[in-house]
Amino acid sequence: MLLGTKLSFSTAYHPQTDGLAERMIQPLEEMIRKFCAYGLEFKDSDGFTHDWCTIIPALELAYKTSIHASTGKTPAILETGWNPKLPVDTLKKDLVDIHPNASIFKLLLDKVRHHANESMNHAFEYAKQKWDKSHKTPQFKVGDLIIVSNLNFNNIKSSKKLKDSFLEPFIIKALHGTNAVQAELSGELENKHPNFPVVLVKHYT
């Protein structure tokens, strides 16, 4: 309450309430996917090989200290109020002696952060283009006739594979914002939950 957080509820099967979190997760998944695909690894001075799992903390650091175009701030600033000190900040100081492993790790971090920044920029651009191209929110109003996807109805009497992919038509009884509708169900769906995300319904024509 002090920080202004609140609990938001979403519809079953297709939650779209927390769009900000979903939008943040997309580039993170893309960044991790890039690391797995390229199989980044390195050897320390003892000859021990570290794979991409070892680099996850560096990837997180790269993400949290990168300025995002949408906010003009780093996630670290917005989350904690300060930016963590980077290894390169320490290496800029006049140090008398630097351990060889520290130099190797510094080079690794530079490589990882550069790769992560490129992957993140690519992920943001790809996600934006994909969303802008495909996302068109249908317009519904109370009283409209709609058909409902059978995607999440596993216990209807006949085989789901042999039934139409969209069932009945039903009347919209109420709207829940712009992302969900409440249908007046009947027949074998009468006892089902009446609320559906708009991506699972269509206008009946």
Per-residue pLDDT tens for 109-159? 777 777 777 777 888 888 888 877 776 667 888 999 988 887 777 666 555
Q: Where are the beta strands (DSSP E) in 126-177?
A: 145-149, 166-176
22 Cβ contact partners less than 8 Å away, ≥ 6 residues apart: 16
C-alpha span between 76 and 96 (Å, rounded): 31
Give per-residue pLDDT as tens, 172-192: 999 888 788 999 988 877 888
pTM: 0.39
Q: What is the DSSP letter of 73?
A: S
C-alpha span between 193 and 199 (Å, rounded): 16
